[in-house]
Structure 1
């Protein structure tokens, strides 16, 4: 619109100058042609006899000057060489200029060419070009001065200019409307493409969702952006693989340390028991049978502990195969709560009676068995334990909040809560929440924790329905 606005101003100004110049040139050409035709007619009229200046000229041209004026369709006025009025096609009282001004007269007498004087006639309200030229006889002697007034009608080019401006405005209005429509179409398509690209870029996350390149087949300004984005996607995927391998190696390393530590714990008392039994062994001891049974029982207990460590490690290393099925999550959670709610301190709430979900029932049971067990074990001695479980179905996602009023988790340990070998309890391998997180992420879900020491802990689990 700004371009069209300046286009109107520029084209209008340029058109005014061009039309004015063209009109002035046309007026000059028209005046030149009329003056030449007039001079030829006058030359022809005085060429039949040898005329001298003065009354002879008046007598000869007195009658012919009317015919000359009619032929040329213009006023003709003749002055003598002193600038005094001689004869004209008009009555004497209608002739405005009875005598040529002295300065103009001198210029005419000194020049062999036409002398033009630009003036403005207030009576007519128009510019007038007064052309003067010496009239000569057969002997090329000057006999009179011809005065030829030519009026310029400025309204001619003003009217043409006004009409041209009207057309210019109409054309530019059409161009403005066309440009608005084109701008709307182009901007709509552009913003639509940018919005789609923006949505795809917004979905890009380092974890949890596979990053997909943008399919864009047009060769325009946005193709470079899309190519750069797709290149970045491939680089991020490579970095994710490297990071995943590094994290996996680190997890195995930490797990190996934990398993080694847990295995060493029962081996030490087993060694001491055997050494002590060997040192005090007496086959004649009447209680030898009982001592052998006690030794065997102690060794079996320690061996069972090693087996427990191995089983826990095996479970962490490989999740059981999934057997997904569709069921009502609310009913499953109600059954789980019913099993653990011996003390009547677990409260379950759901915003829908029907919460369809598709996942493995065993996975779900293991997730919430671990979560409820942790909440029950976090009981505070200062108050009665209360556990609230809220489930909400919203936009094809189920949000489950498990909140207790237990002892809470210290801030410095909150970031380690999902690490493989971390635990705040005196017993256990510290694999429970690690397994929970792993199973939730298997279904593209999320788990987060908030806790305040001495007030309680709140876990938030988000699971897609996958239905």
Structure 2
């Protein structure tokens, strides 16, 4: 008012009583009487919180797109020599007797290149936008396929004293989704559950509806009786590159979370140390998806490598 000027769309930083910072936009108009004398002013505020949040998300999306392009370029440059190393090592190992001490060294080389290939693949899956192929599917059928591979994994690794029980509680469990992506997500969660039970235990896979008054969607739960997750790390398990295993990349659960969110779903976890962990995946049945897709330059044969927490 001292300057006797109007101010339009001026951004201001406001600190609330709770200590939170809010950005607002204000416009000030002077009030004058018939003699053009300033007798007051009107200031209108507009909350910019939502706009700032959208801008932050947009910047994050741009960074992720750049990361995806960079990862694809690096993967191409690294994978070719890796495949050559693995191939030549396999040929070398074929010519060596089992009693030859060099045979073990060759096996270590092959194992190392496969692990590195796995890490590169997971980085690509996480960094690139997902391409979802929506189909009318059945959750129980998707889970059955995932559990088939879980059973095969148990047999191949000779895991003992692990039982898997299915508790499907829905007669109608159809929804529009990408069944292959969800299958990989459920497979990952089930393998994590088994990995958390080194002395054996029980895994329960169940389905039920969720919602307040009316069912809003399908909830898939995967509950184990394993070692559980420590309270100090449970909030970090979906963060990229966070892992509690020495040989983990920390991308497994981040990718699972990405797949669920791409279906407009939510994933949550409950855990108690030495008692077990339960993951809950909520998937809406009726939803219009707005999913990101690859450009035409991306391959259509990406797959999700199982990752243990």
Q: TM-score, normalised by structure 2?
A: 0.57
Which of residues 132, 135, 144 is equivalent to 1:325?
135
Q: Deviations over 1:96-126 (max 9, x none)?
A: xxxxxxxxxxxxxxxxxxxxxxxxxxxxxxx
Greater per-residue strand proportion:
2
| Secondary structure class of the residue paired with 2:241 | coil
C-alpha spacing 1:453/1:319, structure 2 compared with 1 (3 Å): same
Output the aligned Cα RMSD.
3.6
Matched, 1:240 2:60: no
How far off its partner does 1:412 sit? 0.8
Deviation at 1:380, TM superposition (A): 4.9
Following the alignment from structure 2 to structure 1, what is the Cα–Cα distance between the partners of residues 245 and 105? 29
Aligned residue in 2 for 1:368: 186
Q: 1:139-154 maps to which residues of 2 (within 5 A)?
A: none
Change (3 A) 1:404 1:241: same
Instruction: Return the TM-score normalized by structure 1.
Output: 0.39
Whether the 8 Å CA contact 1:350–1:392 is kept in 2: the answer is yes
Which residue number in structure 1 is paired with residue 203 of structure 2? 387
Query: Could you tell me whether the CA contact under 8 Å between 1:325 and 1:360 is conserved in 2?
Result: yes
Provide, for residues 416-455 of structure 1, a one-character-per-residue CA deviation record: whole Å limited to 9, x for no partner: 1001111122322111100000111111111111111111
CA distance in 1, matches of 2:149, 2:242: 27
1:351 pairs with one of 152, 169, 190: 169
Using a 3 Å threshold, how does the CA distance of structure 1 residues 301 and 324 change in structure 2: closer, same or farther? same
Contact 2:65/2:127 (8 A) holds in 1:
no
Q: Which residue of 2 aligns with 1:457?
A: 277
Contact 2:176 2:285 in 1 (8 A): yes
Q: Residue by residue, what CA displacement relative to the aligned partner does 1:49-108 show, whole Å, maximum 9, x if unpaired?
A: xxxxxxxxxxxxxxxxxxxxxxxxxxxxxxxxxxxxxxxxxxxxxxxxxxxxxxxxxxxx
| Greater share of helix | 1
Q: Which residue of 1 aligns with 2:145?
A: 335
Q: Secondary structure at the match of 1:403?
A: strand
* Aligned length, in residue pairs: 207
> How far apart are 1:333 and its partner, in Å?
1.5
Unaligned runs of 5+ in 2: 1-43, 86-99, 155-160, 288-309
**Which residue of 1 is the match for residue 158 of structure 2?**
none
2:210 is the alignment partner of 1:396: no
What CA deviation, in whole Å up to 9, does each residue of 1:192-248 have, x standing for no partner? Answer: xxxxxxxxxxxxxxxxxxxxxxxxxxxxxxxxxxx97xx53x641333322553597
Is contact 1:391–1:401 with CA below 8 Å preserved after alignment?
yes
Query: 8 Å contact 2:196–2:226 — kept in the other structure?
Result: yes
Per-residue deviation, 1:378: 0.4
Cα separation, 2, equivalents of 1:295 and 1:398: 49
* Correspondence for 2:36: none
Q: Gaps (5+ residues) in structure 1? A: 1-226, 271-289
Once residues 244 and 66 of structure 2 are traced to their aligned partners in structure 1, the CA distance between those partners, rounded to angstroms, is 21
Number of the residue aligned with 1:62: none
Contact 1:409 1:451 in 2 (8 A): yes
Larger Rg: 1
Does 1:429 pair with 2:249?
Answer: yes
Tell me the secondary structure at the aligned position of residue 408 of structure 1. coil
